[in-house]
Amino acid sequence: MVQWSYGQACGVYNLKYVGKFHSDSLKLLALKLPTVQFLQGSINEDLEDAYAAANLVGNEFSLEVVSRLTSAYPKKENLVALYKQKSPKFRLKLKVLGKHQLKEIIIELDWDEISVTELDKKYETTFEFDLHNITF
């Protein structure tokens, strides 16, 4: 017996991260943001797939990640409530260079510091997470 299964595109959503960063003494080399799988609680934080590298241009960053699972949370309030339940703080990882030394910094933000907007795209649901200004 062979059984086939196909995933539905309906309910799959994107997260688009945007924001700016600033530091007087450290140079930002890399910024990693949580994937949907980590935020949903499907994978642990120590796995490589838990975070994805953002695009850095000047002092701004952006990243778009796609969910692999369909969502029962079509509204931003429900989605953020799920994420808060899985993790009380939003965590991001920075790789910085300071005084000839490479180090990783973890920054935690309160969920209330993040502006979430549902972007109107024709065939997909995208939630924009604006992290505003990250200072380290």
Q: For residue range 81-131, what is the model confidence (pLDDT) as tens digits?
A: 999 999 999 999 999 999 889 999 999 999 999 999 999 777 778 999 999
Residue 8 lies in a domain: no
How far apart are the C-alpha atoms of 131 and 127, rounded to whole Å? Answer: 13
Range of 76's domain? 13-135
pLDDT grade, residue 5 (50/70/90)? very low
User: For the chain, what is the domain count?
Assistant: 1
State the average pLDDT for the chain: 89
DSSP state of 113: G
What does the block give as tokens for 53?
Answer: 């590298």
Strands 13-22 and 125-135: parallel
Rounded Cα distance between 87 and 74, Å, is: 19
The pTM of the full predicted model, rounded to 2 decimals, is 0.87
Whether 71 maps to a domain, the answer reads yes
Which positions ≥6 away from 85 have C-beta within 8 Å? none
- Residue 68: give its domain's CATH number: 2.60.40
Q: Is 17 inside a domain boundary?
A: yes
What are the E-state strand segments in the chain? 13-22, 27-34, 51-53, 55-57, 60-66, 90-98, 101-109, 115-120, 125-135
Is 35 among the domain residues? yes
pLDDT band at 52 (very low <50, low <70, confident <90, very high): very high
pLDDT digits (tens, 9 = 90+) for 120-133: 777 778 999 999 99
Which pLDDT band, with edges at 50, 70 and 90, does 71 fall under? low
**Domain assignment present for 69:** yes
Q: Does 38 or 75 have the greater pLDDT score?
A: 38
Take residue 44 and report the two structure tokens written for it: 């642990």
Confirm whether 84 is domain-assigned: yes
3-state secondary structure at position 133: strand
